[in-house]
Structure 1
Amino acid sequence: MQLVKVGLCAFGMSGKVFHAPFLKEHPGFFISAVVERSKEESKEKYPDATIYRSVEEMLKNADIELVVVNTPVQTHYEYTKMALEAGKNIVVEKPFTVNVSEAEELARLAEEKGLFLSVYQNRRFDRDYLQVQKVMNEGKLGAIKEVEIRFDRFRTEPSGKAHKENPEAKGSGSLHDLGSHLVDQAVQYFGFPEKLFADVFSMKGQEFANDYFEIILYYQNDLRVRLKSSVFTKEVHYAYAVHGEKGSFLQERTDNQENELIAGAIPTYGEDWVKPLKEDDGILNFLNENKETERYSTLSDPGNYMNYYQQIYEFIVFGYALPSPAEEIIKNMKIIDAAMESSKEGKIISLV
């Protein structure tokens, strides 16, 4: 099996939870280098990886072909550009960049260099997202008319992370953080919208970056998609509510991969590794061919973030489709930029 040598730009939560475990367990990857500016925490689980004290040092000295840019969003443009200029292929954490212009420049540079650039949109591999996709593809709901996708939390106290909460830091706040997932899911489901209206602000006060947003996406055929997130949500809503001409589907956010990884779970290659759900997590209510109401609970199949890196590997070795390429995620950045503008100006923004 062809071996792809990888360098991680950081070993914080993103590196420890979302990247290193999957790269280690996938037989096609080898973690060759890790950037830790002062600590050496990666040695315990990844003793074969060389520790570097800066991204610059790693790019200059490490024998790697793939770089994972998993640093704060404010550094994504700088480090991704640096790695591309060093001739490395890139996986960059979401959000891609702080704005569209940075994303477009990086995509052009990758194309000029003949390198690939993929954005880590891991929640395309969440069980709940995949279940909604499956139900809509079955056609039982008929033409989709209204959709709401939510990602709520109850985190009323500041986290102390300036790159996420300082309102002066570009790319900080929930819109870029959680919004990058919701926007991506909407675009994957329904394509690029015609226009949008957004309300983005901080419930904790002006001294913090936005922690609430609501975006209404306008599509052809009178479809409306609402994306919403709040950190003052103690009682959870259904994460997905899909309403069509023939019925409705309600889906809870039940993917637990992140929590299991934080707790120390080790993902396995080639099979589902998450714990099965104990209860159904969705409700499907629709009119069948006889126009009779059918209503029953549903149980979603497991998600698996390993599939992202499997697709990266298959692209490298076999030339299959690249997951979430830069050109595709630029569309998401356009929506995020337009949402910021819409909220600031208090008006609908055209996207086409």
Structure 2
Amino acid sequence: MVSNVNAAIVGFGNAGRIFHTPLIRAASGLNLHTIVSSRPADVLAAVPGVRVVPDLETALSDPEIDLVVIATPNAMHAPQALAALRAGKHVVVDKPFCLNLDEAESLMVEAKSSGRLLSVFHNRRWDADFLTVQRLITDDKLGEITRLVSRFDRFRPKLRDRWREQDVPGAGLWFDLGPHLVDQMLCLFGKPVSLMADMARQRDGSVVDDYFNVTLKYERLRVTVSASVLTPAAGPRFEVHGTKGTFVKYGLDPQEDALKAGGDPTDPSFGIDGHEGSYWPVIIDDHVGMNESVMSERGRHLSFYEAIAAALMDDAPNPVLPEEAYEVMRILELGQLSAHEGTEVHL
């Protein structure tokens, strides 16, 4: 355990700049000590006064750094996290955990042997809409859940010059948004019995998947997670159907846009979702089900880093266990296999 946690972020692309930097700076018990980037001017323009070093090795050799946050392209997650663990640092890896199960297992083994914390940034466990769905299910408002649809649709018809849209390992929409949606479903329902996946390249010139629709099959429950970048009029973010009622929620969690706009994660209004959900109770006998508005829980991605600080300072639980992230990777791998072969894959 440490009394104060000095953190280094490796990479200052969208993940490092939009998510990790403001959340680490806002989290009690964490200090943003260093950012590893080859573009120091860009970093200092956004985070004046922060220490910037040009490579990972420099950060790993610094005894003042306790925690290393890997926010680089997906193919670099495993080798950089492994180097950090071997250097005696605690590690947070942005999602996805890595590229495959072999890499995930090697990181888990190293973390255990080195006695260091290893966690994965599945921040959308703290989305407002997901927390609301989780509350309704826990409180048995909907009864036994029979069908859930989770969509993450956007409209980005033009290709962009970024690694996620290039033909490189770990690129594509399934490895970008899939980890979020899959992790949320595993949190709610555990591991499915089987899955069936469909993935496609729909935009002109696309070399990676920019659409997916994956069905997770449980004994009776059916869950569909899907995402598209060619949906001008997005459907509901969540549809949750149960034996007592249905919950429908439109609109995406507001935290990403708020962080992009420079919002303060500690502001009491941060993470409040203005899009109310709707709940329709089932009609039973003479009881008439009425449409009720459901206020969203407050979203709070900051909770992840507050929990990381507590784990390192007070021996509190790791907010996202590597074993949990391993199961997400398993679904990602099997989803690719199912889509490639056009068959249902049993776990």
What TM-score, normalized to structure 1?
0.93
What amino acid does structure 1 have at the position aligned with 2:128?
R
CA distance in 1, matches of 2:107, 2:189: 26
The verdict on how the C-alpha distance between 1:276 and 1:166 changes in structure 2, with shifts beyond 3 A counting, is closer
SS of aligned partner of 1:151? strand
CA distance in 2, matches of 1:90, 1:3: 15
The worse-fitting range, judged by mean Cα deviation, of 115-124 and 18-27 is: 18-27
Aligned to 2:338: 342
Instruction: Give the deviation of 1:172 after TM superposition.
Output: 0.7
Q: Give deviations 1:118-157, integer Å, cap 9, x for gaps.
A: 0001111110110111111121211110111011110111
SS of aligned partner of 2:109? helix
Instruction: Give the deviation of 1:294 after TM superposition.
Output: 3.0
CA distance in 2, matches of 1:344, 1:82: 33
Query: How do 1:213-224 residues align onto structure 2 when only pairs under 5 Å count?
Result: 213-220=212-219, 222-224=220-222
After the TM superposition, list the runs of 4 or more consecutive aligned residues in structure 1 that deviate by more than 4 angstroms: 44-48, 275-278, 288-291
Query: How do 1:186-205 residues align onto structure 2 when only pairs under 5 Å count?
Result: 186-205=185-204
CA contact (8 A) 2:128 2:273 kept: no
CA distance in 2, matches of 1:46, 1:2: 24
Aligned to 1:210: 209
Instruction: Give the deviation of 1:325 after TM superposition.
Output: 1.4
The verdict on how the C-alpha distance between 1:276 and 1:342 changes in structure 2, with shifts beyond 3 A counting, is closer
Instruction: Give the deviation of 1:41 after TM superposition.
Output: 3.0
Aligned to 2:299: 303
Aligned to 2:281: 286
Instruction: Give the deviation of 1:226 after TM superposition.
Output: 0.5
CA distance in 1, matches of 2:62, 2:305: 24
Aligned to 2:24: 23
Flag structure 2 segments of 5+ consecutive residues without an equivalent: none
Instruction: Give the deviation of 1:7 after TM superposition.
Output: 0.7
Flag structure 1 segments of 5+ consecutive residues without an equivalent: none
What amino acid does structure 1 have at the position aligned with 2:330?
K
Query: How do 1:226-265 residues align onto structure 2 when only pairs under 5 Å count?
Result: 226-265=224-263
Instruction: Give the deviation of 1:207 after TM superposition.
Output: 4.5
CA distance in 2, matches of 1:275, 1:138: 22
CA contact (8 A) 1:272 1:302 kept: no
CA distance in 2, matches of 1:140, 1:97: 37
Aligned to 1:11: 12
Q: Percent identity?
A: 33
SS of aligned partner of 1:11? coil
Instruction: Give the deviation of 1:49 after TM superposition.
Output: 3.2
**Residue 329 of structure 1: which of 322, 325, 328 is its match?**
325
Aligned to 1:165: 165
Instruction: Give the deviation of 1:234 after TM superposition.
Output: 0.3
The verdict on how the C-alpha distance between 1:36 and 1:285 changes in structure 2, with shifts beyond 3 A counting, is same
CA distance in 2, matches of 1:48, 1:273: 28
CA distance in 2, matches of 1:261, 1:208: 29
What amino acid does structure 2 have at the position aligned with 1:286?
P
CA contact (8 A) 1:148 1:240 kept: yes
Instruction: Give the deviation of 1:315 after TM superposition.
Output: 1.1
Aligned to 1:178: 177
What amino acid does structure 2 have at the position aligned with 1:300?
S
CA contact (8 A) 1:199 1:214 kept: yes
CA contact (8 A) 2:271 2:300 kept: no
Instruction: Give the deviation of 1:237 after TM superposition.
Output: 0.7
CA distance in 1, matches of 2:273, 2:7: 33
CA distance in 2, matches of 1:207, 1:234: 18
Aligned to 1:50: 51
Aligned to 2:313: 317
What TM-score, normalized to structure 2?
0.94
SS of aligned partner of 1:119? strand
CA contact (8 A) 1:267 1:306 kept: yes
CA distance in 1, matches of 2:114, 2:273: 45
CA contact (8 A) 2:199 2:212 kept: yes
What amino acid does structure 1 have at the position aligned with 2:160?
S
CA contact (8 A) 2:248 2:279 kept: yes
Instruction: Give the deviation of 1:8 after TM superposition.
Output: 0.8
CA distance in 2, matches of 1:166, 1:37: 21
CA contact (8 A) 2:264 2:270 kept: no
